[in-house]
Structure formats: C-alpha cells, structure tokens
Copies of this chain bind each other. A is one copy, B any other.
Amino acid sequence: MASNTSTPIRIGIVGYGNLGRGVEAAIRKNPDMKLTGIYTRRDPSRVEALDPATRVLTMESLLDHKGQIDVLVLCGGSKDDLPRQAPELAAHFNVVDSFDTHARIPEHFAKVDAAARAGETTALISAGWDPGMFSINRVMGEALLPDGATYTFWGHGLSQGHSDAIRRVPGVAGGVQYTVPVPEAVEKVRSGLRPELSTREKHTRECFVVLEAGADADAVRQAIVNMPHYFDQYDTTVTFITAEELKRDHGAMPHGGFVIRSGNTSDDSKQVIEYRLQLDSNPEFTAAVLVAYARAVHRMHQLGQHGCKTVFDVAPGMLSPKSPEELRSALL
C-alpha cells in the first residue's frame, strides 16, 4: 500500500525563516503530505507564508493541536532554539530537527531521547545535508571500504557563520563569504591516492565586502584575512563591492560539497566513492531532507518505534512514498 493513496501525513512547521519557508515549499512537492499550520513566536498577522491559505498560528496554541499533527518540523536555530524546543516538543509530538552543532549532538540526542521515550513519540535530530546526507555517506563509505580515508569538501557555497564574522569587522557595512573547495585537492582525492591535506590545501575563502563610508579598505582586508579560526588558516581573498552589487549578485544561498571515500579492497585495487551536492538553495534542500525524514518519523511512530533517532537509524525505503513492492520492482 502506497501512503499517497491513504490519509495525508499532517505536518506542522515551527519557526518561519528561510528553513521554514523551504519546508512549506517542500510539502507542496509531496502529495502524500499536508501542511496543517505554521507556528511562530511572532505576531501571526505579520508573517507572510508562501501560500496565503496557509494557517499561521501562535506557539502558545500548539499544544491545543496535539492529535491533529503527525509530525512537527522544527525550523529554529541550533544555538538557542532547538536545544530548548526539541526536548520540550518531543514530549508531546513527533518531531524532526536539523540540529547542526556537531560537538553537542550526543547531549542533544540524550535530552530529546528522554523526552520522546517518556512521551511515546518519535524524534529525529540532525537531518539535513551536513549533518545528514553527508553523514550517511561517511558511515557507508567507511563500512564498505574499511581500509581507506574519508574526505569532506564544502562549497562552492555561502557560509552563514563566516558571513556573520565579516559583518562584525569595524568598517564593514555588509558582506558575504563563499567557501570554495580547491580543485587540485578534489582531483588528488578522486585519484584514490589518499593524500594528506592541510586545512589551507582543501578550501579557499572568498569574501565580498561593502565598506562603510570612510573606512580604511586595507585595514578591513587585514582584519578579515588574519581573523583567528575563521580565516587565518585559509587563503582568503577580499573583494570590495557596492551595496547594490551585494544585493544584486549575492542574494542567493547556494551551497554543496563532496564526501569522498577512497580505499583499497586489495593491494592492487583502489576504489573511490563520491557523493556530491550542488545546491542552488541551501535552506530549501535542507528543508527537503527534513520533510522526507518527517515521512520516515511518521512511519516509525506507527510501528511503535519511540525515542530519538538519527539518519543512521532510518532505512532508505522509509523515506519514499512508494511501497516496498514498488521500490523493489521499479528502483532496485
């Protein structure tokens, strides 16, 4: 039985920034799903959804809708929103989030797991592309080629954290930062030679900066390229542009990258597995992943699989609206 012939999966969106808008767009592409509403901390009358018919509601009303929502997709930030919201909401709802502070995942998992077990709900954390699709490819690459090395490259893409760092430099009125994989490094990895690569050899950083009136361009450039952790370990270029150019040419949020596993199955045989993403919109793709995992969470909950999960716990078939029979005959 394919789920798209049965009752649609009812999805609620919590938080409505770029990611929340991406989830609204993704649900439109999945006929087996239905958006029940957007929940926001803002005044709902001031939130404009992609579809004017979408209900925008207050966070305070969320608990009243328990039983009317199959899965909540949490679209807040990893720094302040998700660490608090995910455990709180997992006590009452099935939830999916994109928590991406790698170092704090075990702690986040433990809290969400406790809440979900107590509430007999199903939660899935850290979905998206990294963590998410890239993580799956790191695990599978290592499992298939245990004698090998894994390389992750990011970009060509806009880095939010590094763009924020640029904007904090005195004299900067605006700016964006792109992370760019070094083509020679990617080719060396693809050759199967398992090179050792320094941070500087793997990525370059390209900054496009709008100066405040009267700012010293050279001082700004030096402050950026020497910024500890963010830029000092990289070859960084700084290009000064106008506010108009920033708006016209740098409004999109492209991203992507590669996970490459290179290994030997015997002395003579090198094998290379590469997973690559080229994304016009980072938040829309992340949202698409969240929505596919919301389908899996709904099914796992129906199977009585409570507690916190990650992408490592979800079989590929659970992501598809097609039945196991259809998948075996059409896509295997």
A328 within 8 A of B: yes
A12-51 to B contact mask, C-beta < 8 Å, 1/0: 0000000000100110011000000000000000000000
Q: How far is the CA of A279 from the CA of B310 in the complex (A)?
A: 30
- Distance between A29 CB and nearest chain B CB, rounded to angstroms: 5
Interface contact B310-A284, CB-CB below 8 Å: no
With A131-B332, A140-B319, A316-B139 known as contacts, the answer to whether A269 contacts B265 (CB < 8 A) is no
Extra 10 A-B pairs, beta carbons < 8 Å, given A190-B278, A312-B317, A314-B316:
A106-B325, A106-B328, A126-B332, A139-B320, A266-B284, A271-B281, A272-B278, A273-B276, A274-B277, A313-B315
A109 within 8 A of B: yes
User: A284: nearest residue on chain B (CB-CB)?
Assistant: B265
Contact B190 A331 (CB under 8 A): no
| Interface check A135, CB cutoff 8 A | yes
In the complex, A217 has a CB within 8 A of chain B? no
In contact, A105 and B147 (Cβ under 8 angstroms):
no
Kindly state whether residue A53 has any CB partner on chain B within 8 Å: no
Closest B residue to A309 using CB positions: B315
A263-310 contacts to B, CB under 8 A, are 265-266, 268-281, 284-285, 287-289, 292, 295, 310
Residues of B within 8 A of A328 (CB): 105-106, 109, 310, 312
A46-90 contacts to B (CB < 8 Å) = none
Q: Closest CB of chain B to A105's CB: distance in Å?
A: 5
A145 at the interface (CB under 8 A from B): yes
Given contacts A29-B265, A106-B329, A325-B106, contact A280 B271 (CB under 8 A): yes
* A21 CB to nearest chain B CB (Å): 9
A238 at the interface (CB under 8 A from B): no
Within 8 A of B (CB), among A197-226: none
Q: Is A183 an interface residue (CB 8 A)?
A: no
Beyond A272-B277, A288-B144, A327-B139, whether A265 also contacts B22 by CB under 8 A is: yes
